[in-house]
Every structure is written in structure tokens, then in C-alpha cells.
Amino acid sequence: MPKVKVDGVEIEVENGTTVLQACEIAGKEIPRFCYHERLSIAGNCRMCLVEMERSPKPVASCAMPAAEGQVIFTNTEMVKKAREGVMEFLLINHPLDCPICDQGGECDLQDQSVNYGGRSSRYELNKRSVKEKYMGPLIKTQMNRCIHCTRCIRFAEEIAGVPDLGAINRGENMEITTFLEKTVDSELSANVIDLCPVGALTSKPYAFEARPWELTKTETIDVMDAVGSNIRVDTKGWDVKRILPRINEDINEEWISDKTRYACDGLSSNRIDQPYIKKEGKLIPCSWEEAFLKISEEFKKTANIGGLVGDLVDLETIFSLKNLLSSVSGSESVDFRQKDFYIDPSHPSNYLFNTPIAEIDDADLFLLVGANPRLEATMINSRIRKNFVSKKTEVFSIGNPGDQTYKINLLGDNLSILKDIEAETNSFADKIKKSKRPIFIIGESVLNSKQGKFVLETSKNILKKYNALSGLNTLHRNASSVGALMLGAYNTNQDVLKNEILYLIGADEVEIDNKNKFIIYQGSHGSKNTKIADVVLPGAAYTEKDSLYVNLEGRVQAAYKASFPPGDAKEDWKILRALSDVLKKPLKFNTIEQLRSKIFESFSIFPEINQLPKVKTENLSIASVDTLDSKVQFTSIDYYQTNEIARSSKTMMECKTAREQLAKTGTDD
């Protein structure tokens, strides 16, 4: 534990700390461009120069390890002069185009030049000009502005795991490029936009849309996958202009996936903004009263009513729907499963991602069973990669999920391997014996009625044997799945689709035969199931309501209203509450606070907001199953088109096309 003195204050820092981190701990702000906490140290911008005793020259604090007895000064004349010199060199080739630059207002160079910039440039020659590069449909380049901090290169290599970005030439002629003018082949690519300290890499869909100071910022939760990344939604008026990551060390650190970031333009297209009612085979716009009266007429005819919730539905809505349908028909046939899906809700650990996401970093062995974390839960994949890079952890897989940005050791694609591991006839059994914290990740592809039970029970048996049951993880794809499971929104005895009346809330994946059925569709975006509906009710999207979502760990997170629903659309639970009045079976809550306290009262499994559920894996019941000779069949994932918001988004369509182009070879048509 070296002791260093920063500006006369002596502090003790941990081994391996850099001088820059020591200064931060001492409360001194050090300007920097290339240094980033989560990336390797490059030390090439020289902005973080500090004075050190017995050093003839100023030292780059980001690359200098803190050592015993160092005496550091951060505010001397020498430091100021050195930084001013660095800044002047940086500004030599930086265009003075702040007024037309999208980074203006949130630019590191702009901010630091206020402190260290000279009054005018002494440079009299022409500024360097650099050709624009193509980096795909998300990243807009203005390479004249680049100051060569290499953050983007380090991000692509270290965190995204795609060596697509690099620098060519040296010195003044250095250029950041994708070499082949191709799309960056990563689901995390747009994070380089946040990393870029200047306006060299900016957001293409957000280009010239707004200035940072005009935007209203709302800190909320993402629903594009089940991870529940923390995001900040920036709105200007009604429009959601952009989505940025919010730091949460327990979930997404400070990255988000491209889908999370750019599906937001789907929020302003394909919107259902008024109720519709089907007359003579055509959906005709109508008023809320007409729609509600029609529903109550139909509800009087039969008690055979089923509810199906989609992939983006929040806790409040599922709870309200469940209560409404049980008060009307007496049965609780609300389900969240839009496809063949094996669930064992007898214990929460059977469907939760039991390892907290942050503890993936401590794991020393991974087994993916029919899981493709890169496409199913990108943020979890970046955690696995982080572990793989820092500890060289081995990742094994049953079934080939394709490139995961790290090396995968394929055990085969037959699920009977699991039984071999249990019987210790497979060499993987030795690995798991030696491992202290093994992690099994079971994907939705194998959680079907045929394979699900075998995979789940055998995995439990293996993990139980090595006393590692907390490493049992189910990788859900949809933001609503775990919440629905915890609320008991499933009916394992009966198929909901057999009911005469179907109440769909954003359920747009399932294929429905609408013969002799009355279908109510409530949702924010139009889809194939909206067209076959008899009554359409306009709902709110995830940025337009205060709501709770449960991520795959079982963590309850609150999303906040950043914008409001368009036209006549209303928040989903309010629609159900109003409908319950028309049906003369009023639900027993009037405000969101009452509704939430009802949920927490009725279901003790829900933890406090932002906390993990207190679920113990010890008393998990395990059944023994016969061996199953069956191959892993990955269900196809169209990464950029997984939900209705993404499908409505123009940017996501562009991404999809760009990635398809990338996969083509020269001889393809």
C-alpha cells in the first residue's frame, strides 16, 4: 500500500493504482482524453501531465504507477504550462467547427480547452484533412476532428471483442479506420460514440437532431432484452431523441447494446393512437366508450376468457390483467408464453438467473446449454467476455451458438452430454470438479416442452453434486418473462389460445387462429395480431409510462415516464382499470402507488426496488430424469428485429441490412 502525497495531502492507495487514480482519490481532477477506467492504458494524449518531485519533466499520470513516497503536484505553473502546450498541439489539427458539431456542449475537448486553451492559434500552416470513414449505419465519422486517443480502438478490441477498428500510418498522418470500410461487426459498436472525447465519432441517427442542453433527461430502464440495462432517455418535446447508458455496476456497467440505444426511433412510427373496432371485417376508428361497451357485451356471452401478455409488458399491467380476468371469469388463464416454453415455477430458482450479473466476473467456468448470450443478452455476454479476457476462463457449450467474441469449446450438440457429465464419463466433469464457481447458462432454445425438463433437472443434478447450485442460470430473452413468472401469470394446465375470448397485451409473436374467437389487442405498436383483432386499444410504450420491470436476475427496477403516449393512447394499467369500471367489477386501486403496494403485498417474492430477491437455492427440489437423446436446435434470433418497437425502427432495419451485407462474400449475389 504505497503512500503518496498529492498537493501536500498524504494519501494511501492500493497497489497497482496509477498516479491519476491517486490524484482522483485525493479529490484532484486531472484532465484526460485517452485514459478510461474500463479500458487499457494508452498514455498517448499527454493531457494528464502532472509534476512529480525529482522528475525533470512532467509525467503522464495515467500511465505512471503510484509508488511509495511520490510527491505529486497538480496545480503548479509547470503543470498548467505543460497542459496548455498539449492542448495547443491538439488544437493545431482540430477544426474549429464546434457550432456545427454534434458533440458541442458535451465535448471533452471543448470543456478542457476552456481551462487550458490558448487565446488563438500560433499555427500558420494548413490544417490536416482526413477522409471520412464508413463505420456502418450507427456511427457517423468526422475524422478531421479526431485527436487519436485510440479509445475506440481499445474498446472494439477489449470489450466488444471485434478487431474491426484500428489505426493506419503514424504521427500526424495517423488515421482511425475500419480498414475495409465496413460496418463494425458488434452489438456494442455504438458505445464508441460515448467514448469518443471529441466529435469524430458521433451518432448517425441523432445527427443534427438536438443540442444536449435542449434535452430533458429521464433515467429509466431498458426493455429490449431481459437484462434490464439502465438507460437515460433524452427527449425533446414528445420525441425520444436518443438513449444513453447509465452507469450501474451490477448490471450493464456503462455500456448498452445497439438495439437498446437505437430502437428508440421505432417509438415514433407504427403507433396505435386511437381505439379501433371491427365492423364488417374492417377495423374502424372508434371512441373509448364504444370499444369498452363492445368488450363488455362480449364478456357477458362467455366466461371463457384468456389473457396473453407480450414481451415488453410491465408488472403493473400483468397484475391488472390477471386481477381483471379472474374477477370477470373466475379463472386465472393469463399467460406470458408465446411459444413452446418449459417452465417449472415450483421454485423461483428454476427460472431465475441465479448468479447476480456482477458475480459473473468471479466465475471460473462457463457452460452454455443452447444459449447464445451474444444475441439473447448482449450485456451478459460482455460480462462473460470480460471474465474471459481478464482470467482466461474456459467457456464450454453444448450446441454451437456461433461467434460469441470469445473462444468457445464445443462439447457437442447432443443434450445427452449432460447425462454423461452427471455420470462423470465426460471430461468436462473433471473441469467442473476443479472449478470453484461454475456457471451454467441455459438458453430458451432448449427450454421447450421436449427438452426443457431434462436440461433443467440434469443441470441441477450436476451442480448439486459439486455444491454449486447458485450457478444455475436461465437466460430469458424477454423483459416481461421473469416478472410474469413471479406474478404467476401462467397456466400449465391449459393452453390460453383455446379460450373463446383472447385479451392480448402487446403479444405480437404468437400465431393465432382467429376463427370463432373474439380478440382484443392492447398495445403501443401495430403488428400482425393487431390486424386480426376485433377491438384494438392503444397503449403506451416503455418510455411513456411509470412502470416496474423485473430483469432476469429477479431484480425489480422502476422505469419512468420520459414522454407521453400519442393521441388517445393511455397507460396500460389505466386502460384495464377503466375497463373494469365498465364491466362493473372495479379493480381495487386508483393510483399507481396503490397498485404497486398491492403487488408487493400479494407477492412476497418481490424484493425492494433495485434489490435482488432473497431466493435460496439450497432447498431446490431436484427430480431425476431419464437420458434424452436430442440435439440442440437454436431458435433463430433476428437480433435487430426481436420486438415490435425494434421492428418499427428504421435504424434497426438499416443495421440488419448492413450486417447482412457484411456476411456476404464477394461471390454472393
Q: How far is the CB of 214 from other proteins (least distance, A)?
A: 11
The answer to whether the beta carbons of residues 23 and 6 sit under 8 Å apart is: yes
* Of residues 640-659, those binding other proteins (CB under 8 A): none
Phi, psi of 309 (to 5 degrees): -105, 145
Considering the rule CB under 8 A, would residue 539 count as an interface residue with other proteins? no
Q: How far apart are CA 566 and CA 267, in angstroms?
A: 10
Considering the rule CB under 8 A, would residue 241 count as an interface residue with other proteins? no
Q: How far apart are CA 277 and CA 279, in angstroms?
A: 6
Q: Give the one residue of 536, 556, 579, 655 binding other proteins; rule: CB under 8 A.
A: 536
Pairing of strands 276-279, 282-285: antiparallel
- The DSSP 8-state label assigned to residue 529 in this structure reads H
Taking each helix axis from N to C terminus, what angle separates 108-116 and 77-92, rounded to the nearest 10 degrees? 130
The answer to whether the beta carbons of residues 4 and 72 sit under 8 Å apart is: yes
The kind and range of the H/E element at 654 are helix 650-663
Considering the rule CB under 8 A, would residue 283 count as an interface residue with other proteins? yes
Q: How far apart are CA 631 and CA 324, in angstroms?
A: 41
The residue among 239 and 298 lying less far from other proteins, judged by its C-beta, is 239
Q: Give the one residue of 239, 290, 413, 424 binding other proteins; rule: CB under 8 A.
A: 239
The region, left, alpha or beta by phi > 0 then psi within -120 to 50, assigned to residue 176 is beta
Which cell goes with 566? Answer: 400519442
Considering the rule CB under 8 A, would residue 294 count as an interface residue with other proteins? no
Contact range with other proteins by CB under 8 A, out of 232-240, 459-467, 542-550, 608-616 = 232-240
The residue among 269 and 657 lying less far from other proteins, judged by its C-beta, is 269
Number of helices (H) and strands (E), helices first, in the chain?
Answer: 19, 26
Considering the rule CB under 8 A, would residue 214 count as an interface residue with other proteins? no
Contact range with other proteins by CB under 8 A, out of 179-187, 208-216, 261-269, 506-514 = 261-269
Considering the rule CB under 8 A, would residue 237 count as an interface residue with other proteins? yes
Distance of CA 262 to CAs 200, 506, 654, Å? 19, 20, 11
Considering the rule CB under 8 A, would residue 482 count as an interface residue with other proteins? no
Q: How far apart are CA 111 and CA 641, in angstroms?
A: 38
Q: How far is the CB of 274 from other proteins (least distance, A)?
A: 8
The residue among 435 and 527 lying less far from other proteins, judged by its C-beta, is 527
Q: Give the one residue of 44, 270, 326, 630 binding other proteins; rule: CB under 8 A.
A: 270
CA angle 114, 120, 121 (to 5 degrees): 110
The answer to whether the beta carbons of residues 108 and 626 sit under 8 Å apart is: no
Contact range with other proteins by CB under 8 A, out of 45-53, 129-137, 234-242, 403-411 = 234-242
The residue among 141 and 648 lying less far from other proteins, judged by its C-beta, is 648
Which cell goes with 16? Answer: 497497482
Considering the rule CB under 8 A, would residue 273 count as an interface residue with other proteins? yes
Size of the site for other proteins (CB under 8 A): 21
Provide the residue type at 61 as one letter.
S
Contact range with other proteins by CB under 8 A, out of 97-105, 271-279, 330-338, 571-579 = 271-279
Contact range with other proteins by CB under 8 A, out of 57-65, 120-128, 188-196, 270-278 = 270-278
Q: How far apart are CA 416 and CA 625, in angstroms?
A: 11
Contact range with other proteins by CB under 8 A, out of 264-272, 396-404, 594-602, 608-616 = 264-272
Q: Give the one residue of 399, 452, 566, 613 binding other proteins; rule: CB under 8 A.
A: 566
> Within 93-170, where are the H helices?
108-116, 151-154
Q: How far is the CB of 524 from other proteins (least distance, A)?
A: 9
Considering the rule CB under 8 A, would residue 531 count as an interface residue with other proteins? yes
Q: How far is the CB of 338 from other proteins (least distance, A)?
A: 20
Residues forming contacts to other proteins in the complex (CB under 8 A) are 236-239, 267-273, 276, 282-283, 525-526, 530-531, 536, 566-567
